[in-house]
Copies of this chain bind each other. A is one copy, B any other.
Amino acid sequence: MASNAPTFSPLYRQIKSLIVQALESGEWRPGEAIPSEQELAARFGVSQGTVRKAVDELAAENVLVRKQGKGTFVVSHHDPRQFFRFLRLVPDDGSLTQPQSVPLDCWRAKAGQEAARVLQIPVGDPIIILRRVLKFSGKPVVLDEIYLPGEVFEGLTLDTLKEWKGSLYSFFETRFGVRMLRAEEHIRAVAADRMAAETLGVKEGTPLLSVERVTYTYNDRPVEWRRGRYLTTQYHYHNELT
């Protein structure tokens, strides 16, 4: 077993970290199958049951996905089923059209106090700020302002963004190898400021949902901070409590 495995945790947790390390290093890429439980058991020198327990947890966390009769795969943002994992806004009428992402602008800046704190980078480090609109059936419904650590997303430009046809997270995955694993959202009601009002085609002061999100990759490392404004007259944020 690798000597850098963390101590004082159950064996399956140590195996889980080793699998995460391999994923993080890009040994198995999004959409690809990982080795069988038997092969992983041999590699790490543990029982298949221990590997299974580690894989169980990674599947529950949506890092891996088991496909019956086919094996275990690295979850990819290209999978259409992943799309609404991070976007909880759905039309009231129940229709399920894939929204279209329209980039508005993209510029470089230095991290201020707040961006530095949220992204866990030093104040003054390069960040990339981008704004985009999400259109549902051609109508603007979401205005997002997105803050990214410049080091991770080096080379991101408005043009490359505009050329991309899929979701933003599939773009991040393909171009920068960044996988979004989990996010925390803070949701409030706010009055539309002028920019949001103009972009979404409503009056200033219209109540909008403010969705502030921090998104994490492997090892709970924050790689995105975004502030969204959602117009919720014909759409709602759907949440399941269990």
Which A residues have a C-beta under 8 Å from some C-beta of B? 61-62, 85-86, 88, 181-191, 205, 207-210, 212-213, 230, 232-233, 236-242
Which has the most chain B C-beta neighbours within 10 Å: A190, A191, A240, A242? A242
Which of B188, B207, B237 interacts with A186 by CB under 8 Å? B237
Q: A207-B207, A207-B208, A208-B207 are in contact. Are A239 and B187 (CB under 8 A)?
A: yes
The closest CB in chain B to the CB of A92 belongs to: B186
Find out whether the CB atom of A209 lies under 8 angstroms from the CB atom of B183: no
Q: How far is the CA of A181 from the CA of B242 in the complex (A)?
A: 7
Assuming A207-B191, A207-B207, is B236 touching A186 (CB within 8 A)? Answer: yes
Task: Choose from B184, B232, B238 the contact partner of A238 (Cβ within 8 Å).
Answer: B184
Chain B residue at minimal CB-CB distance from A208: B189
In the bound complex, do residue A239 and residue B189 qualify as a contact, i.e. CB atoms below 8 Å apart? no
Cβ contacts A to B, 9 pairs, < 8 Å = A182-B241, A183-B240, A186-B236, A187-B209, A187-B239, A189-B210, A212-B236, A213-B241, A239-B239
Contact of A187 among B62, B181, B233, B237 (CB under 8 A): B237
**What's the least CB distance linking A180 to chain B, in Å?**
9
- Set B85, B184, B190, B233: member contacting A239, Cβ < 8 A: B184
- A212 CB contacts on chain B under 8 angstroms: 236
Q: Which residues of B contact A230 (CB under 8 A)?
A: 189
Whether A240 contacts B190 in the complex (CB less than 8 A), given A207-B207, A207-B208, A208-B207, comes out as: no
A237 close to B188 (CB less than 8 A): yes
Chain B residues near A237 (CB, 8 Å)? 186-188
Let me know if A186 and B238 touch, CB within 8 A: yes
Given contacts A207-B207, A207-B208, A208-B207, contact A239 B188 (CB under 8 A): no
**With A207-B208, A208-B207 as given contacts, are A241 and B190 in contact (CB-CB < 8 Å)?**
no
Query: Are A242 and B191 interface neighbours, CB within 8 A?
Result: no
Give every chain B residue within 8 A of A213 (Cβ-Cβ): 241
Q: Which residue of B lies closest to A239 (CB)?
A: B185
A239 to chain B: which residues have CB within 8 Å? Answer: 88, 184-185, 187, 239
Q: Is the CB of B241 within 8 A of A184?
A: yes
Report the minimal beta-carbon distance from A88 to chain B, rounded to whole angstroms. 7
| A189–B189 touching, CB < 8 Å | yes
